[in-house]
Structure 1
Amino acid sequence: MASYLAQEVQLARRHDKILSQRLVLLQQMENHLGDKKTEKTLQTQAADAAYKRNAALLNDIEAAEKRLQARIHLQPHPDIVNLETLYWASVEESIPKWEQFLLGRAQTPVGFKKKKSTKYNISHPEGAAQR
């Protein structure tokens, strides 16, 4: 009977050891699960922050695009409009003078100088200046 008592004490100690190991493993599993939950929460927060940041950037880009589009459609400076008006008035005034010439029916209008083609002459010093 002493052997049964010794065996039962040994089994009780072994049972206690197994229970303590089980408790340690359960605690480790809970810690691991808590770490995973925390990690998932942090990833979710990071994804939300990235989404908000990307949305803000997209809004900024769209606003910049709208400002640039508005600038394109703005009226030019009054001085530029005035110069354009004077230029086109000058062109319209000159059309009758140039029309026959451009159609090949008349000589160049008065006040237009034809460029003379000059060849480079080494012996003539002014030839180098004219080139």
Structure 2
Amino acid sequence: MLTLGACLLIRLVTEQLKMSSYLAQEIHLARRHEEILSQRLELLQQMETYLGDKKTKKTWQTQAADAAHERNAALLNDIEAAEKKLQERMYLLPHPDTVKLETLYWASIKESLPKWEQFLLGRAEVPIGFGRMKTTKQNMSYPEDSQK
């Protein structure tokens, strides 16, 4: 059997082993705690950077939207002003002499179109009376003179 001194010694050694085991565990936990705090700090910094970038982007988008709104408003004002001018012009009638000249012009076009149609389609030569004209001072001929 063991003596009382030996029992106390064993108990003391056992307690020492437990203490050193607890100390090793506590050191390990303290290191792990430091790692976790370091990771937390890093994540907080990343979040701050992300939120700052997001806020900057939102500010930029708001400014871009405001600028687009101003451009659109200016364009709308320009379109409305142009529309108003066109409406004012619409009510102004051209001078009667201008209307008469336009009417005569389009009547002459309609009258001579059948003569020129085949030529313009590339199926015939220049209509009679509309040949190549020489433009000299001595010999000036006009289509009207040849038809008279």
The TM tier, using the shorter chain, reads 0.5 to 0.7
Distance 1:10 1:112 in 2: 121
Q: SS at 1:25's partner residue?
A: helix
Quote how far apart the aligned CAs of 1:67 are: 2.0
Runs of 4 or more consecutive aligned structure 1 residues displaced over 3 Å after TM superposition? 73-76, 90-98
Give 2:25's aligned residue.
18
Distance 1:9 1:75 in 2: 98
The alignment's C-alpha RMSD in Å is 3.7
1:114 to 83, 94, 112: 112
- Structure-1-length-normalised TM-score: 0.61
Which amino acid in the other structure matches residue 15 of structure 1?
Y
Distance 2:76 2:22 in 1: 80
Give 1:43's aligned residue.
50
Q: How does 1:57-96 map to 2 (within 5 A)?
A: 57-74=64-81, 88-89=94-95, 91-94=98-101
Quote how far apart the aligned CAs of 1:6 are: 1.9
Distance 1:23 1:11 in 2: 18
Matched, 1:28 2:35: yes
Gaps of 5+ in 2: 1-6, 133-148
Larger Rg: 2
Quote how far apart the aligned CAs of 1:46 are: 1.5
Quote how far apart the aligned CAs of 1:43 are: 1.8
Aligned length: 107
* 1:34-61 deviations in Å (ceiling 9; x for gaps): 2222222222212111111100000111
Distance 1:15 1:37 in 2: 32
- Structure-2-length-normalised TM-score: 0.55
* 1:59-110 deviations in Å (ceiling 9; x for gaps): 111111122222223459xxxx99xx79x33553457769xxx9xxxxx46x
Distance 2:17 2:49 in 1: 48
Distance 2:79 2:19 in 1: 89
Distance 1:33 1:52 in 2: 28
Distance 1:24 1:58 in 2: 51
